[in-house]
């Protein structure tokens, strides 16, 4: 369904709303200053009334995120690989000011150590091996559930394989994998980011926080489907 709507750039359908709502929320969680209305205008008209003080990168990364969602739809059925994950990062960060930095590896793993929320992440020299191990464990699952995808999302966040853009790439992977296994995707709303961050930071002690937040995001997507009279068991 999404691929068909994408191919004809169908206005006002599920593909249209997925693009606007996921892009707005995922970017806003990471600090974008664009409103949902501005995000919608970029998608619908390829123009923007930016107002005062909107960073150019916010606009570039919004357009790039639309393209990254398209890529997820295009490769939805494919096994998850390092190449797909790196391509999502390349699409998201190309043309940004980060891409002009000699040490910032667009479409490749980080070269400098980084932290997230005050927590240490995987060292650059260990990222490739940790990603291979994560993907090997995940791809060995015989019947992937939404809980497996949530766990993968957490473990990916802990590795934090890229210099920047890890959160958005992680949520794009979730979209692709939900489509791959016939699961309703989840959209983490910016308004729920506090619960989302708590879930990531406290996963080792209480997995329910992140799980509940992601399942709430699934309910958000179900409501979106209901607006178009799409049954929950439909093949997206």
Q: Is 216 a member of any domain?
A: no
d(CA 198, CA 201): 5
Looking at the 3D structure of the chain, how many domains does it have? Answer: 1
Query: Tell me: the pLDDT tens digits for 50-86?
Result: 666 789 999 999 999 999 999 999 999 999 999 999 9
Task: Determine the pLDDT at residue 54.
Answer: 87
Q: Kindly tell me if the per-residue pLDDT of 202 is higher than 80.
A: yes
Query: Tell me: the pLDDT tens digits for 149-167?
Result: 999 999 999 999 999 999 9
Q: Is 37 a member of any domain?
A: yes
Residue 22 lies in domain: 1-74
What is the end-to-end Cα distance of the chain in Å, rounded? 5
Q: Is 107 a member of any domain?
A: no
Q: Is 182 a member of any domain?
A: no
Residue 212, CA distances (Å) to 51, 73, 135, 150, 223 in order: 37, 25, 24, 10, 17
Q: Is 211 a member of any domain?
A: no
More confident residue, 195 or 142: 195
pTM of the model: 0.96
Q: Kindly tell me if the per-residue pLDDT of 222 is higher than 80.
A: yes
Active site residues: 160
Q: Is 20 a member of any domain?
A: yes
The percentage of the chain sitting over the pLDDT mark of 90, rounded to a whole number, equals 92
Task: Determine the pLDDT at residue 51.
Answer: 67
Q: Which residues are annotated as a binding site for ATP?
A: 116-119, 164-171, 196-197
Q: Is 88 a member of any domain?
A: no
Q: Is 25 a member of any domain?
A: yes
- Collect contacts of 32-36 with beta carbons under 8 A, ≥24 apart: 32/58, 32/61, 32/62, 33/58, 34/58, 34/59, 34/62
């Amino acid at each position: 369904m999404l691929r068909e709507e994408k191919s004809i750039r169908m206005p006002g359908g599920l593909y249209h709303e997925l693009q606007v709502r996921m892009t707005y929320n995922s970017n806003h969680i990471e600090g974008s200053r664009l409103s949902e209305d501005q995000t919608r205008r970029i998608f619908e008209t390829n123009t923007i009334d930016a107002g005062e003080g909107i960073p150019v990168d916010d606009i570039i990364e919004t357009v790039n995120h639309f393209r990254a969602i398209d890529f997820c739809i295009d490769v939805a059925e494919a096994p998850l690989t390092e190449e797909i994950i790196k391509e999502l990062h390349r699409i998201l960060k190309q043309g940004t000011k980060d891409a002009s930095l000699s040490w910032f590896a667009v479409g490749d793993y980080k070269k400098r150590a980084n932290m997230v929320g005050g927590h240490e992440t995987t060292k650059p020299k260990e990222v490739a091996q940790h990603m291979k191990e994560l993907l090997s464990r995940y791809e060995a699952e015989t019947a992937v559930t939404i809980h497996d995808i949530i766990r993968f999302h957490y473990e990916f966040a802990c590795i934090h394989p890229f210099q920047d853009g890890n959160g958005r790439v992680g949520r794009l992977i979730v979209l692709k994998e939900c489509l791959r296994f016939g699961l309703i995707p989840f959209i983490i709303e910016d308004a729920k980011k506090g619960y989302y961050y708590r879930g990531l930071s406290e996963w080792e002690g209480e997995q329910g926080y992140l799980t509940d937040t992601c399942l709430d995001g699934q309910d958000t997507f179900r409501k979106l489907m209901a607006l178009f009279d799409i049954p929950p068991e439909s093949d997206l």
